[in-house]
Structure 1
Amino acid sequence: MSETRNSQSITVSLGAFSFVTALSGASVTLALPRMARAFDVSAALSTQVVQVGLITTVVFLVMFGHAGDVFSKNAVYRAGGWVFIIGSLLTGIAPNFIGVLVGRFVQAVGSAMVMANAMGIINEHFADKERAKALAYNSMFISVGSISGPAVGGLITSILSWRWIFLLNVPVAIAIMFWAKGAFPRPRLTWADIREQARRVNWLGQLIFSVGVVLMFSSGWITLPGLNQFTNMMVFLVGGGIVTALSFLQDDFAPSPWIDPQVLRNITFLTSTSVLFLAMLLVSQIGYAFYGGQSGLGYVLWPIILNGVGMDFTLTPNNSITMGLVSPKLAGVAGSMNSLFRTIGMAVGISFATNFLYAQLPGVKHITRGLGTTYLHASRIVFYVAVGASLIALIINVWRTATSKSEM
């Protein structure tokens, strides 16, 4: 296979699988009401289907990025594709709600394996001039999958059972995996090598990190006595964040760390990834905040469109800059850190916004038309907070640009 053709195969394979995983993640929310009715669980409990996926992905991203650097990014990526397929099948045929959660856990493990190594593979196979283009294509597939997820999920659930949101992943992902077989040759790995590396890694750091991530998102199902909803959420969010930060500190001093010290001490790289955590678009958030409820569809659409365009302008060059700041041999863990901050940012944003919204609506369990201006006022305050986060991301970007120019 020629180098150009192989590059095209890599781009298409990575993009197609990124599209499928993004589409699946974005369409799950549409299945929740029907899942709740099918298994006779509350609406609040059904949201754990989404949370399990997010938490699992976050927990395993760095581990699989490290595994890609140590063994083979291709091998971990391909194995992740098949794990995702198995998880989708298990979720689609689950006989009860516990079965759905187990399936989502397996599916999210596969997604983590794929996400952790996608950028590393691009960094490994493409030169500097072509890397930005390849990352842009991959970001485009992710964006299209995320944007079209709700529409596709709604169409599927209106025609077929909610189970087909997961079952349709199986034949599509299998076709992509066979297409990718030639683009990602799998090296030969022995069980002895795998056991040796498994024995040496920093399992204590992984445990501390996992506990921290789980705590960050535990406010949805654990309520401490005497605390209101927002305070309860902040206690878990801050407490879990501290434990998570301690895991990075412990890993830095471990004999065999998950994250190479070169990455943790690269301030420019960490600044770039922090932008992903705060990547919200200022103008579009202001547009959401000023929505009055009586405006036409066009008024609602322009912030959404601007948000999508802005994310492309922000994330694509940021990904390219970030991946260009590390050594190719560390591309796996660097790519996983990139995905980690983006996923944590999304998960924290969803959790914070939801809890903050309901904290302003005491006693309200379901959003209905009857709330009227009360709901609009509460949501407007949420978006004002988002504007603040956007300003922080903007300041970081301006500072980073000015600093990089002065160093040239």
Structure 2
Amino acid sequence: MQSAVKRWTMLAVIGLFFFMVIVDGSIVAIAIPDIARDLAITTGATTLIISSYLITICASLLLFGQIGDQFGRSRVFKWGTLIFLVGSFLAGSGGSLSIVLLGRFVQGIGASMTMANSYALVTDIFPPEQLGRAFGIEGIFISLGALAGPGLGGLILVQLPWNYIFWINLPLGLLCLIAEVAVFPKSQQRSSSKIDWLGAASLALATSALYLATMQLRYWWVMILLMVIFSYIFWRVESKIAVPLLDFKIFRYQLFSQSLLVAFLSFIVAYFFTILAPLYLQLVLQYSPGVTGLLLMVTPIVSLVASPLAGYISDRYDQRLEMTIGMAILVVAQLSLAFATARFEPTYFIFNSVLIAVGTALFGTPNNVIVMQAVPNKMRGLAGATNSLVREFGLVLGTTLSTLIFYRLLSLFSQRQVDTALGMARPILLKAQRGTYLVALLLLSVALFILIWHRKKELTSNGDR
């Protein structure tokens, strides 16, 4: 067991790097107009820079979790940090979309290597009586990372070109790597099990096919068919292999499965705001990237206060009730966003940002605790990896669905094929935004219904006893 100072230092390093990795999933959003102009591409094409990073993480997350189990989680985490830094340098130095996408792919591999092993590393180094506190602190880094990307990007763009939204990772990542070499365990015993390469390949192909199906391709139905075929192959492989990437027995725990499903819906919706908010602030309200960045920092700043308070409430009161209240607040926020009219700004935007921060904290904090505690200790590593996979997969779908719906609505309302938001009239942008947020509202309403229905069922069951 590590000393107390070493344990908390490791947690701080893991949390900081986790924050940076998750920020990189959303920081590009605010730079979409600048990147589109600089690379002479459409704003729709620019979202590939976001989704390619997320889809790479989804496709390889479980594979690197298994590799970490067999070759040493600490070792894989360190290599992942180094690869992430190489990808950050490539993405920032790209003079064309293809170079930027290559850098994002390399970044995604490195991010996946670290994310797949972070929960298990924390479990390895902390005693059981401190795990809840450790996971709560790591959850703060995750929540802040998911919310802070566009805001940090805006602050960077005030003084620097868009390339620096990637290069800012280099000094921070190097500090993390030095700390990892200094304080992480030097070696871990290697397992004799084999790597599930067939399962990893089928999962990667299924994930890629689903992503391609959500794009505006002519033969999208072929991608759906391929996704079904590869998903079936993955299920068959995982059901028969001795050491699977994903042990489907974990889904037999009802509370785990339900909490994961509701979280999945919330993760999808989270990126609707990430994609649309910078466009709304810069193209509808005509705010500069600097002002946009400051306004987008409202949510993460509020989260700094809301997340610890939500953790305090979660430790002392009904976690299921807290989750339900948080989800109800998120539903109200989506309804309010859907009917934004560009009036009373920026007060109206700040109000909605506060609602999102509070709702996310009240829902996400107890949900993470429930997910990790709903399974036996021996499956906690798998629960953490699955939770990470669901989060990243939800963010991929959120990016692609919000982009697809938004540009389809822009085309409908402008009565012509549209793949860029630049130069569009304000009323058309507002109507397309409204329709996109209404879809998000529907998804969160389903999540809220699931929470209320299961809570009512639980109370009825307890009453019968």
Counterparts of residues 210-229 of structure 1 (less than 5 Å): 210-219=204-213, 223-224=217-218
Aligned-partner Cα distance in 1 for 2:226–2:337: 30
Name the structure 1 match of 2:187. Answer: 187
Given that residues 58 and 343 in structure 1 are in contact (C-alpha distance below 8 angstroms), is that contact kept between their aligned partners in structure 2? Answer: yes
Identity level (%): 28
1:162 match: secondary structure: coil
Q: CA deviation at 1:93?
A: 3.0
Name the structure 2 match of 1:263. Answer: 250
1:206 and 2:200 correspond: yes
The letter for the 2-side match of 1:314 is F
Question: For 1:23-74, what per-residue CA distance to the aligned partner results, in whole angstroms no more than 9, with x for missing partners?
Answer: 3332223344444444444443333222210110110111112223334332
Q: CA deviation at 1:121?
A: 2.3
The letter for the 1-side match of 2:373 is G
The letter for the 2-side match of 1:317 is P
Given that residues 59 and 210 in structure 1 are in contact (C-alpha distance below 8 angstroms), is that contact kept between their aligned partners in structure 2? Answer: yes
Name the structure 1 match of 2:336. Answer: 287
Aligned-partner Cα distance in 1 for 2:198–2:394: 24
Instruction: Identify if the C-alpha distance between structure 1 residues 93 and 361 changes in structure 2 by more than 3 Å, giving closer, same or farther.
Output: closer
Given that residues 83 and 107 in structure 2 are in contact (C-alpha distance below 8 angstroms), is that contact kept between their aligned partners in structure 1? Answer: yes
Name the structure 1 match of 2:6. Answer: 6
The letter for the 1-side match of 2:433 is S
Name the structure 2 match of 1:250. Answer: 236
State the Cα RMSD in Å: 2.9
Aligned-partner Cα distance in 2 for 1:295–1:368: 24
1:310 and 2:310 correspond: no
Q: CA deviation at 1:89?
A: 2.0
Aligned-partner Cα distance in 1 for 2:68–2:31: 33
Name the structure 2 match of 1:388. Answer: 442
Given that residues 27 and 150 in structure 2 are in contact (C-alpha distance below 8 angstroms), is that contact kept between their aligned partners in structure 1? Answer: yes
Name the structure 2 match of 1:136. Answer: 136
Aligned-partner Cα distance in 2 for 1:269–1:335: 11
The letter for the 1-side match of 2:161 is S
Instruction: Identify if the C-alpha distance between structure 1 residues 79 and 142 changes in structure 2 by more than 3 Å, giving closer, same or farther.
Output: same
Aligned-partner Cα distance in 2 for 1:400–1:62: 29
The letter for the 1-side match of 2:83 is V
Count the aligned residue pairs.
Answer: 394
1:217 match: secondary structure: helix
Instruction: Identify if the C-alpha distance between structure 1 residues 371 and 57 changes in structure 2 by more than 3 Å, giving closer, same or farther.
Output: same
The letter for the 2-side match of 1:278 is L
Q: TM-score, normalised by structure 1?
A: 0.85
Given that residues 59 and 207 in structure 2 are in contact (C-alpha distance below 8 angstroms), is that contact kept between their aligned partners in structure 1? Answer: yes
Instruction: Identify if the C-alpha distance between structure 1 residues 311 and 154 changes in structure 2 by more than 3 Å, giving closer, same or farther.
Output: same
Q: CA deviation at 1:146?
A: 3.4
Q: CA deviation at 1:172?
A: 1.0
Given that residues 23 and 146 in structure 1 are in contact (C-alpha distance below 8 angstroms), is that contact kept between their aligned partners in structure 2? Answer: yes
Given that residues 206 and 247 in structure 1 are in contact (C-alpha distance below 8 angstroms), is that contact kept between their aligned partners in structure 2? Answer: no
Q: CA deviation at 1:129?
A: 4.8
Aligned-partner Cα distance in 1 for 2:377–2:67: 14
Instruction: Identify if the C-alpha distance between structure 1 residues 55 and 73 changes in structure 2 by more than 3 Å, giving closer, same or farther.
Output: same
The letter for the 2-side match of 1:212 is A
1:161 match: secondary structure: coil
- Structure 1: state its 5+ residue gaps: 226-231
The letter for the 1-side match of 2:382 is V
Q: CA deviation at 1:404?
A: 6.3
Q: TM-score, normalised by structure 2?
A: 0.76
Aligned-partner Cα distance in 2 for 1:92–1:35: 11
Aligned-partner Cα distance in 2 for 1:156–1:132: 35
Question: For 1:125-165, what per-residue CA distance to the aligned partner results, in whole angstroms no more than 9, with x for missing partners?
Answer: 34555333322222222333333322322232332232222
Aligned-partner Cα distance in 1 for 2:122–2:82: 20
Instruction: Identify if the C-alpha distance between structure 1 residues 40 and 353 changes in structure 2 by more than 3 Å, giving closer, same or farther.
Output: closer
Which of 355, 373, 384 pairs up with 1:335? 384
